Structure 1
Amino acid sequence: MSVERQDPEWAEHQGAPPLLEVNDLNVTYRGRGFRGRSFHALKDVSIQVRRGETIGLVGESGSGKTTLGRAVLGLVPVTSGSVVFEGEEISHVGGRRRRQLSRDIQVVFQDPYSSLNPAMTIESILAEPLTVRGYSGTDARARVAELLDHVHLPADAAQRYPREFSGGQRQRVAIARALALAPKLIVCDEPVSALDLSTQARILDLFIDIQEQTGVAYLFISHDLSVVRYIAHRVAVMLSGEIIETGDGDVVTTNPTEPYTQRLLLASPVPDPVGQAKRRDLYMSLGQPQK
């Protein structure tokens, strides 16, 4: 998968102040027990997301990318630095303000199987954030029907349960739930990694279509450089809690300058045995053992 994202909605806001601005962010997890060592998960991380833009955050497991997403969502304590959303510093806001921010900042998690309550119908799942915000039953049902149409699910899906859907369909429900309150930013934490390749492509296309229609911005977290290449306008590469390379999505994912990013690129499989063999040889030449 390869495409260069140049959406008019994103380009229109390039000169505007960033929607999200992370400045010199540090997150340290305290060790367990008396002798437990602390773990410095994020080290002076800075990143910006503009309105209508997709920032791809890529790195291997343990690189800190999910911790950064959780810090933006207020799910981990920030040691130092700041998270600024629409000009407001939000890294230390209280629970009430954080709940208010959920209208504008939403999340799509990795696993569509565990992120939906199996005891609730799809209508109940999608209506829950709406009723909390004061929607009447009639207005909530109308919005649920609109959301299902938005993610290309049939209207009768509202009365069914999550177990009745495939993985890709469940992830569509999760996306619909994130869209319910018309957010300005969605943190996408490995949202397609649990899906097969053909379903991945359809979900990525759905994310792109939704962005073009609504202008929502994405902080898109993935370990897969090919996925990030497909969806991101700009890319930031993380290693050991630091951002080591940033730039235009097409440039970073096709001609990276950092050896680590080059290894990520070469590790991605290609649908050609001869090409894959050449890529494996080059991968080995960079000093990274091939699994």
Structure 2
Amino acid sequence: MSALLEVNDLRVTYPGRGLRARPVEVLHGVSLTVGVGETLGLVGESGSGKSTIGRSVLGLAAANAGTIRFGGSDITHVKGKRRRQLAREIQVVFQDPYSSLNPSLTIGEILSEPLVVQGIAPAIARSRIAELLDQVGLPGNSAARLPREFSGGQRQRIAIARALAPEPKLIVCDEPVSALDLSTQARVLELLDGIQRRTGVSYLFISHDLAVIRHISHRVTVLYRGDIVETGPARVVTSTPDHPYTQRLLLAAPVADPVRQRIRRAERRRLAEQTGPAPGRSAAE
């Protein structure tokens, strides 16, 4: 499988909090690849740096060192016209499906924005919007309605349709189902999987939930405190992980049996003593 996205030795530093605080390096030389038509699941707890990788790929977080290559070209520091051109090929779906949609625009206007930027004629744009709505399982009359008229799951489908509008090669999915209930999560994940099968789009899928990552990913990369600690096929990493931190993530999923849950909690505490707490958390959590 040929590589579409290549991240090599990426380092990102954020300013420290406070007037005299020192800058904080949140990524310590991270390397990963996403193949054509592949989903790479990027998993870790809050503060691990996983969303920073997605932001760097999108040009929203500047790299202090390392390179990001897309389709063979170095895009690490591109700006202006070239970055706008990249927006056609690299799209994003954010966590909150409502705040990412302009509440004053109709769904048709929201979906037409990336098409207008490409200079597509209005008649062709209308046809494309109808096609996008059908692709994400929404009725054709959705184009005339406002975001507030839709449920959370439907709004996320609209956000996915918007990301698909310019026919990108890569979509960065940053916690796209974490704000949804379990049944809606499953439907959105199935939708993303079906779209990938039809179009060949690649996903960099970011989540804190190992169960979600298992469902959607071909390969999985585990991030802990700005470093990659494990990577491999999804079925292996999400069922028999090698690294204690990944084992902790696996044990974090609750089970219905209280006895098993108590054993899992004790094992998770033991592993926390080996790896140390995640950023902002105590080892006892």
The alpha carbon displacement at 1:37 in A equals 1.1
Partner of 2:83: 98
Q: Aligned partners of 2:183, 2:18: CA distance in 1, in Å? A: 46
How many angstroms does 1:281 deviate by? 3.3
Equivalent residue for 1:206, pick from 191, 206, 229: 191
Deviates more, 1:280-289 or 1:242-251: 280-289
Q: How many Å apart are 1:151 and its aligned residue?
A: 0.2
Q: Deviations over 1:142-164 (max 9, x none)?
A: 00000000000000111000000
1:72 aligns with 2:78: no
Question: Residue 119 of structure 1 aligns with which residue?
Answer: 104
The answer (yes or no) to whether the contact 1:54–1:231 under 8 Å persists in 2 is yes
Deviations 1:17-64 (A, max 9, x none): x10000000001123565121010111000000000000000000000
> Deviation string for 1:110-151 (max 9, x for gaps)?
000100000000000000110111011111110000000000
Does 1:35 find its partner at 2:20? Answer: yes
2:143 matched to which residue of 1? 158
Q: How many angstroms apart in 2 are the aligned matches of 1:216 and 1:34?
A: 43
1:52 corresponds in structure 2 to 37
Q: Do 1:67 and 1:76's aligned partners in 2 also have CA atoms closer than 8 Å?
A: yes
Question: Counterparts of 1:245 and 1:171 in 2: how far apart (Å)?
Answer: 30
Residues 201 and 40 from structure 1, CA distance in 2 versus in 1: closer, same or farther, beyond 3 angstroms?
same
Tell me which amino acid in the other structure corresponds to 2:128: R
Using the alignment, how far apart are the partners of 1:117 and 1:281 within structure 2? 46
Distance 2:156 2:139 in 1: 14
Structure 2 residue corresponding to 1:197, chosen from 182, 199, 219: 182
> Is 1:132 aligned to residue 117 of structure 2?
yes
What is the SS of the residue equivalent to 2:88?
coil
* CA–CA distance in structure 2, aligned partners of residues 192 and 115 of structure 1: 14
| Amino acid in the other structure paired with 1:269 | P
- SS of the aligned residue for 2:125 comes to helix
RMSD over equivalenced CA pairs, Å: 1.3
Aligned to 2:205: 220
Q: Any idea what SS the aligned residue of 1:255 has?
A: coil
Distance 1:35 1:240 in 2: 23
- Code of the aligned partner of 1:45: V
Secondary structure, counterpart of 2:185 in structure 1: helix
Residues 121 and 162 in structure 1, CA contact (< 8 A), matched pair in contact too? yes
Q: Matched residue pairs, number?
A: 276
Give the Cα–Cα distance (whole angstroms) in 1 for the partners of residues 76 and 89 of structure 2: 15
Is 1:19–2:24 an aligned residue pair?
A: no
- Give me the TM-score of the superposition, normalised by structure 1: 0.92
- Correspondence for 1:5: none
Contact kept? 1:23, 1:45, Cα under 8 Å:
yes
Partners in 1 of 2:183 and 2:20 — Cα distance? Answer: 48
CA contact (8 A) 1:280 1:290 kept: no
**In the alignment, what sits opposite 2:279?**
none
SS state of the match for residue 10, structure 2?
strand
Decide which of 78, 81, 92 is 1:107's aligned counterpart.
Answer: 92
Residues 245 and 271, structure 2, Cα contact 8 Å, conserved in 1: no
What TM-score do the two structures reach when normalised by structure 2? 0.94
User: Partners in 1 of 2:200 and 2:76 — Cα distance?
Assistant: 24
239, 242, 247: which one aligns with 2:224 = 239
Counterpart residue identity of residue 195, structure 1: L
Partner of 2:72: 87
CA distance in 1, matches of 2:104, 2:76: 33
> What percentage of residue pairs aligned between the two structures are identical?
63
Whichever residue aligns with residue 153 of structure 1, its letter is: L
Q: Secondary structure at the match of 1:19?
A: strand
- Does 2:168 correspond to 1:183? yes
Structure 1 213/271 Cα, relative in aligned 2: closer, same or farther at 3 Å?
farther
Unmatched segments (≥5 aa) in structure 2: 274-282
For the residue of structure 1 that corresponds to 2:61, the secondary structure is coil
The CA deviation at 1:196 is 0.6
